Amino acid sequence: MKNQQSNNSEIPVYLTAIVTALPGNIDIVKSTLLNLVKNSTQEEACLQYDLHQSSEDEHVFIFQETWKDQHSLDHHNQMPYLLEFVEIAKDIVQLPLIIYKTNKIS
């Protein structure tokens, strides 16, 4: 049983996060999110951290993230630059953020 739990903790974690800038905040949101990309991709357990902007609505930004495992994602969520984003986000993005944790099927 212990071995099975260990294997589960090594399963990659896939996230899609949708961030919608409040009116008048597109540039600051984009700059702030690009800073997250810069810092997050430096984390050893970050396997993917791609930022997209909707071609239909420039207020909408979409992250595609892959983390080595749940522990790595938990660690990422406590990083100072992410906590700083959470604080800043209150004034510049629509809350709550939309976050999907997914399983890769193909």
Q: Which residues have C-beta within 8 Å of that of residue 81, sequence separation ≥ 6?
A: 35, 36, 39, 40
Q: What is the pLDDT of residues 80-93, one digit of tens each?
A: 999 999 999 999 99
Q: What is the mean pLDDT of the chain?
A: 93
Q: What is the pLDDT of residues 42-69, one digit of tens each?
A: 999 999 999 999 999 999 999 999 999 9
76 neighbors 67 (Cβ within 8 angstroms): yes
pLDDT value at position 4?
A: 43
pLDDT value at position 3?
A: 43
| CATH dotted code for 2-102 | 3.30.70.100
pLDDT value at position 10?
A: 85
Query: How many helices (DSSP H) and strands (DSSP E) are in the chain?
Result: 4, 4
Buried b / exposed e along 41-60 (16+ C-beta atoms within 10 A): eeeebbeebebebeeeeebb
Angle of CA points 103, 77, 11, to nearest 5°: 30
pLDDT at 97 over 90: yes
